[in-house]
Structure 1
């Protein structure tokens, strides 16, 4: 019997979308289950917090090595191995009998996720030529924004009607289906030439990024002046400073920091880190505002914040059509400036604000963020050599992790510094200051976008016929 042959562009999109959706959803779905897990295991608050932090730190340790691993052992098999490990670890999380087992299995999840996204991104951008990437981004944006919106709602339903174990078990069918599909239809690409594994670079990058991520994640809650945060920050900064010296001195480093000499790559990463900090910070704070100030239920809170996902999905279809004619500079600047305005308006809401206004502001934020997500994802690798795509993907993925942590750290700190009152109005005011901080981050992102040169991204700006060809093939 003849085996069905599937276009590799479609095959890569299918497995990457499934893995992306599962990985992103896993980061949000667990939040609604933490209180139930704590009660079930009789665990301390610090132990419950460790479930989240361990996952993030393990991701940070693995990401720097992901480019080398994909090039050395083939991106197909590294990706599928990571996907299989993530799926098994998810099932193991659901079967955990105590908090210690859950921490261990969450660490395994983080290790797998650390390689999953960068290696998947490398596969994607080596499969699609630059002029087709904006159309690919239009498809891939859907799991990127739908998964965070679905996670809390689905998690709440599973915890209420089944048990907390199912927030992990839900990954099983998705991961298994994607794994089987990938084994059968993904083709192994040509092997890339790599040097020996850079152990010193790996240790410095892992320690530096993990310590810095821990500092940003825990600084607001533990206090920025606490000894553990100061030590963690010192380790992070020191290790990363040493990493720069070590990697620039190597002919074949694990992280090729020389890629930052490419203006488009450098500026795109800066735009993304400030933009994602603002966006992630809002997604972190708005549910708390709705529940703590407005008095909304968890479900009502989720439904009020979810319009941002609708805004991104609808707007992305327009952005993809504008990009070839307008280019990334003006699209990104205008979109993120609009996001800054939306977040600035959020700084005026209080306990009496109509929730439909909040939903409209969240929708407007999503509309604007599409003008960052698609152009930056299409343009950031435009001038990266084919052989360096793996390392560039690792750097871009690390930036996304740090940007998200930075947003939560800054907005959480602003909230904590101004949260001195006990009345509803005083609580609302502390959130207003935090929303204003998010607007400032978005404004900085918009300003940096002005340094993008459209001619640098010319390879990603396709002609109309090339649009149609790809859109038809992946529709």
Structure 2
């Protein structure tokens, strides 16, 4: 076990705190973007890369986590990840221009890409299999909740003391976590040597970056432009070559053969659908409240707060329910709630009462709480030690990439359906949420067909 029984709770709290702030950083700049754009004189398309590049690098580094976890001591990895994240925050504070600020986000994401999977593997190895639902519920408080509360928290911080105060706060917490980690954590030693499969890593990184560039270019050049289709085609080809290579090399970057386990494959697909809904919702609902309804950022954050709070409350509850009843029933319940919340936004108007909007968003968050971590526990339940590291790497990486790409695509549909792409209107909001609701209904169908009503085996 990574942590002795007497210090387990304290040690896990330290690891979860570090992972929480790195996850929080995914969406923490959403309300700060206007201020940053004005200070560095960049457009919205360029400014958005502060979040996009973070998610991209996070997904790429997460893909290497299986190799890192199987080779190095988990304590050393965690401390190294925290130091990288701290370095990135420090550079952000003193960034003289936008290019350096982007670089600082890359460094932060490199640290976060190590922290998330290491913490997840340590917790799963600390708890017995019969309590993996509880363990994943705890992890869900970090990985699932942090990006959801980011916009609300950042709005409050930016209004009070400016965007740099975000990085002062993250840096201060990072210093405390590093000190406590050195003192309290013991760690699991990696058991394998070898080297990382660099060709696979390059193909993986270029593939996802190209897809993101293609989706981003659509806003400026349209879907039929070579500037859009070229990167999209390059991304698809690179990811195809990456997938083929994982079955041919002796030590793959990601053991994609794990996807032959039906439970793992199905849960991975459903987690991607869930994360697309969650990440895109944190972007589009504030746009609806602020741009379409003309309300303030503070009002937007206040309306989203109850949903974020329910996500916090229900994550440990759904972990207990998974341990007690299995994945099928709670996954069905989660998909129904998420689909109903998305469908409600597809029917919302500019006069819909704000209390109803809050309830609709809260319904979505409850559905996500019933899906994200229980599905992760379900998918990983049959994997052994080394496979668990690869399984975590696959799920975490795919989740981040799906969230980034899916959000961009849904935002693109939102803009295309609006009267003018420069100004989002209610029709664009309705169309994008209708598409999302259809995607969630597909997830419900997959759940009904493939998720079996089984209980965890101790």
Whole-angstrom distance in 1 between the partners of 2:304 and 2:216: 22
Q: Name the SS for the 2:273 alignment partner.
A: helix
Name the residue aligned to 2:275: 276
Name the residue aligned to 1:373: 372
Q: CA deviation at 1:235?
A: 1.9
Name the residue aligned to 1:470: none
Q: CA deviation at 1:286?
A: 0.7
1:351-362 alignment, distance < 5 Å:
351-362=350-361
Name the residue aligned to 2:112: 113
Q: Name the SS for the 2:391 alignment partner.
A: helix
After superposition, give the CA deviation of every residue in 1:427-456 in whole Å (9 maximum; x if it has no partner).
21221111111211211122222202344x
8 Å contact 1:32–1:152 — kept in the other structure?
yes
Name the residue aligned to 2:16: 17
- 2:260 corresponds to 1:255: no
Name the residue aligned to 1:233: 232
1:282-301 alignment, distance < 5 Å:
282-301=281-300
Whole-angstrom distance in 1 between the partners of 2:217 and 2:109: 18
8 Å contact 2:55–2:401 — kept in the other structure?
no
Q: How has the CA–CA distance of structure 1 residues 260 and 221 changed in structure 2, closer, same or farther, with 3 Å as cutoff?
A: farther
Whole-angstrom distance in 2 between the partners of 1:364 and 1:45: 30
Whole-angstrom distance in 2 between the partners of 1:119 and 1:229: 36
Q: CA deviation at 1:421?
A: 6.1
Name the residue aligned to 1:468: none
Gaps of 5+ in 1: 463-475
Whole-angstrom distance in 2 between the partners of 1:150 and 1:222: 33
Q: CA deviation at 1:48?
A: 2.3
1:314-325 alignment, distance < 5 Å:
314-325=313-324
Q: How has the CA–CA distance of structure 1 residues 104 and 76 changed in structure 2, closer, same or farther, with 3 Å as cutoff?
A: same
8 Å contact 1:54–1:106 — kept in the other structure?
yes
After superposition, give the CA deviation of every residue in 1:217-247 in whole Å (9 maximum; x if it has no partner).
5545653333333222122111111112211
Whole-angstrom distance in 2 between the partners of 1:72 and 1:221: 44
Name the residue aligned to 1:129: 128
Name the residue aligned to 2:34: 35
Q: What is the TM-score when the length of structure 2 is the normalising length?
A: 0.92
After superposition, give the CA deviation of every residue in 1:81-115 in whole Å (9 maximum; x if it has no partner).
01111012112101111222212212211222222
- 2:446 corresponds to 1:440: no
Q: How has the CA–CA distance of structure 1 residues 12 and 256 changed in structure 2, closer, same or farther, with 3 Å as cutoff?
A: farther
Q: CA deviation at 1:150?
A: 3.7
Name the residue aligned to 2:100: 101
8 Å contact 1:12–1:123 — kept in the other structure?
no
Whole-angstrom distance in 2 between the partners of 1:147 and 1:132: 23
Name the residue aligned to 1:473: none
Q: Name the SS for the 1:97 alignment partner.
A: coil
8 Å contact 2:271–2:376 — kept in the other structure?
no
Name the residue aligned to 2:397: 398
8 Å contact 1:220–1:412 — kept in the other structure?
no
Range with greater deviation from structure 2 (286-295 or 159-168): 159-168
- 2:334 corresponds to 1:341: no
Name the residue aligned to 1:244: 243
Name the residue aligned to 1:469: none
8 Å contact 2:418–2:425 — kept in the other structure?
yes
Q: How many residues align?
A: 454
Range with greater deviation from structure 2 (216-225 or 102-111): 216-225
8 Å contact 2:59–2:398 — kept in the other structure?
no
8 Å contact 1:83–1:175 — kept in the other structure?
yes
Name the residue aligned to 1:199: 198
Whole-angstrom distance in 1 between the partners of 2:216 and 2:392: 23
Q: How has the CA–CA distance of structure 1 residues 24 and 317 changed in structure 2, closer, same or farther, with 3 Å as cutoff?
A: closer
Name the residue aligned to 2:428: 430
8 Å contact 1:56–1:110 — kept in the other structure?
yes
Q: How has the CA–CA distance of structure 1 residues 210 and 315 changed in structure 2, closer, same or farther, with 3 Å as cutoff?
A: same
8 Å contact 2:63–2:253 — kept in the other structure?
yes
After superposition, give the CA deviation of every residue in 1:62-86 in whole Å (9 maximum; x if it has no partner).
2222211222222221121011110
- 2:163 corresponds to 1:143: no
Q: How has the CA–CA distance of structure 1 residues 222 and 127 changed in structure 2, closer, same or farther, with 3 Å as cutoff?
A: farther
Whole-angstrom distance in 2 between the partners of 1:220 and 1:230: 12
Whole-angstrom distance in 2 between the partners of 1:447 and 1:167: 41
Q: How has the CA–CA distance of structure 1 residues 35 and 10 changed in structure 2, closer, same or farther, with 3 Å as cutoff?
A: same
Whole-angstrom distance in 1 between the partners of 2:168 and 2:217: 28
CA RMSD between the two structures: 2.4
Whole-angstrom distance in 2 between the partners of 1:46 and 1:344: 28
8 Å contact 1:335–1:372 — kept in the other structure?
yes
